[in-house]
Amino acid sequence: MTDSLQSHDGNLDSLKTLTAVIYGLYALSIFAGISAIVAIVLNYIKIDEAKGTWLESHFSWQIRTFWWSVVWLVVGGLTWIILIGWVVWGVAFVWFVYRIAKGWLNLNDGKPMPLAS
């Protein structure tokens, strides 16, 4: 029983480290966008291991952040010619930075993310 608990704790620690790495990859994507692709792939590969833990909320938060960022980048791209796109991109950038910072800080404090935001 003790080995099982230690294994679960070790698994959770490993998953927490991976979650921090994924936040880092998303932050890096501001400068090198390809790192967001690596991050989303890792999210989808490992989300099953996070199911039922407090880290599942972080994985969901990261996945939603990625896909909504893609939506806003496309909307901004489609409307940049009429100058609205620049505003969309600016707001999306601030929102993206906020989501990464909030998630990383909550992870560091051992707190789950809010469910539907």
The number of angstroms, rounded, from the C-alpha of 13 to the middle of its chain's C-alpha atoms is: 18
Residue 58 lies in a domain: yes
Q: What are the tens digits of pLDDT across the range 50-105?
A: 999 999 999 999 999 999 999 999 999 999 888 899 999 999 999 999 999 999 99
Q: What are the tens digits of pLDDT across the range 7-22?
A: 567 789 999 999 999 9
**Short-list 38, 46, 39, CA closest to 11:** 46
Estimate the share of the chain in helix, then strand, then coil, as percent rounded to the nearest 5.
80, 0, 20
Residue 43 lies in a domain: yes
Q: How many domains does the chain have?
A: 1
List the domain range (segments joined by +) for residue 50.
2-108
Residue 116 lies in a domain: no
Residue 117 lies in a domain: no
What pTM was computed for the model?
Answer: 0.88
